[in-house]
């Protein structure tokens, strides 16, 4: 058993850029442990991930704001505070904030992430979810 106290000891919030569009910060909650990583991710309005997959899946717990989650080949779905999203192993997806709200989620990622290309602006809804 291991106990982690809210964030990785000595961790510093990191600005993410290589695999994210817009302004996005991640705060490590738990260092990589047995193939699992946990980060609190803060997206400014319009910020989002690139397309990606997770070897064994991912769980997102939205803690504040509003955003989008999108599986490849499907329309984006709105997500907001209190929502939990399960993304299955190797499902190609992206997630991020709406254009009018920030979004914060806790991302539990299982296994290796494979990052792909940037999400095209035309594939992101312009209006906020209702």
CATH number for the domain spanning 88: value is: 2.60.120.10
Q: Is residue 2 part of a domain?
A: no
Q: What are phi and psi of 31, to 5 degrees?
A: -65, 160
> Is residue 94 scored above 60 in pLDDT?
yes
Domain count, the chain: 1
CB 22 within 8 A of CB 43: yes
Q: Is residue 126 part of a domain?
A: no
Report d(CA 39, CA 127) in Å as an integer: 27
CB neighbour list of residue 122: distance below 8 Å, 6 or more residues apart: none
SS3 26: strand
- Per-residue pLDDT of 43-54, as tens digits, reads 999 999 999 999
Q: Is residue 123 part of a domain?
A: no
Q: Is residue 30 part of a domain?
A: yes
State pTM to two decimals: 0.90
Of 128 and 76, more confident: 76
**Which residue segment(s) compose the domain that 86 sits in?**
14-115
Q: Is residue 49 part of a domain?
A: yes
DSSP for 44-78, written as a single string = PTT-EEPSEEETT-EEEEEEEEEEEEEETTS--EE
- Per-residue pLDDT of 5-20, as tens digits, reads 776 667 778 898 899 9
> Is residue 112 scored above 70 in pLDDT?
yes
The predicted structure's pLDDT at residue 10: 73
Confidence class for position 4, pLDDT limits 50, 70, 90: confident
**Region 99-110: what's the mean pLDDT?**
96
Of 14 and 130, more confident: 14
Q: Is residue 80 part of a domain?
A: yes
The predicted structure's pLDDT at residue 2: 82
Q: Is residue 127 part of a domain?
A: no
């Amino acid at each position: 058993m291991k106990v982690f106290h809210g964030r990785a000891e000595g961790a510093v919030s990191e600005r993410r850029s290589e695999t994210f569009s817009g302004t996005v910060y991640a705060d490590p909650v738990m260092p990589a442990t047995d193939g699992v990583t946990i980060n609190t991710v803060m997206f400014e309005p319009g910020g989002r991930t690139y397309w990606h997959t997770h070897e064994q899946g991912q769980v997102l717990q939205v803690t504040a704001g509003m955003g989008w989650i999108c599986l490849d080949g499907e329309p984006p779905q709105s997500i907001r505070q209190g929502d939990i999203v399960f993304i299955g192993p190797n499902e190609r997806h992206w997630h991020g904030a709406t254009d009018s709200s920030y979004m914060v989620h806790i991302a539990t990622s299982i296994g290796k992430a494979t990052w792909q290309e940037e999400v095209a602006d035309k594939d992101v809804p312009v209006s906020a979810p209702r």
